[in-house]
Amino acid sequence: MNRIIKKKTSMLIVCVLLLSLVFTGCGQKTETPEQAVTNALNAIKKLDIDTMRKYFNDDGLYGSDSGTDELLEDEEGMKLLFSKMSFKIISSSEKGDTATVKTEITNIDMASVMVEYFDQAFSMVFSNALAGDGAKSDEEMEALTEQLFIDLIKREDNQMKTTTVDIKLTKNKNSWKIESNDELQDAIFGGMISSMEEMLGEQ
């Protein structure tokens, strides 16, 4: 009798555990907009491209017209830039399948950095053009200007810029997709995009 009771008890425990696993899977909670924004921005800090693709729409973080495709190719420089980024979620609101998460994003003030970068890079290129037979190759100059960009970002005394943005999201199954726009892109890049557009006369 005791053996039968023990066997039935063991089977009951197994059934309860199996049911709990089933219901846990079925009741998977939808990620909140705040969690989605936090995960997405942390992915940017780590330059985790796969996770970034999960949270941003088809046009990506930077959009097809923002001019930052080439910037992201400079992986070392971008890792340094994004590693300096911090953020703070201020508030959030949901309405149906859409949400807005007001977020403070802080990064290096790239407006001042880019002014220095272009001044020094132009000087390097101009001097090389006058070097005659001792001039460096295009590949060498490209490496030098890339290193210049990295050195400027590495400085510990760079000014920081904080921008408050309303991050728009749309529900995507159990998660959310972030609607990338110029304001969000510029905040993440520390004002780099707007400063480059201004210097290139695109505004």
Task: Give per-residue pLDDT as tens, 167-194.
Answer: 999 998 888 999 989 999 999 999 988 8
Q: From CA 175, how far away is CA 169, in angstroms rounded?
A: 10
- Residue 83: pLDDT over 70: yes
Choice between 106 and 78, residue whose per-residue pLDDT is larger: 106
Q: From CA 9, how far away is CA 4, in angstroms rounded?
A: 8
Q: From CA 71, how far away is CA 58, in angstroms rounded?
A: 19
pLDDT at 28: 52
pLDDT at 25: 41
- Residue 148: pLDDT over 50: yes
Task: Give per-residue pLDDT as tens, 107-128.
Answer: 999 999 999 999 999 999 999 9
SS3 84: coil
Which band of pLDDT confidence, cut at 50, 70 and 90, is reported for residue 78? confident
For residue 73, how far is the Cα from the chain centroid? 14
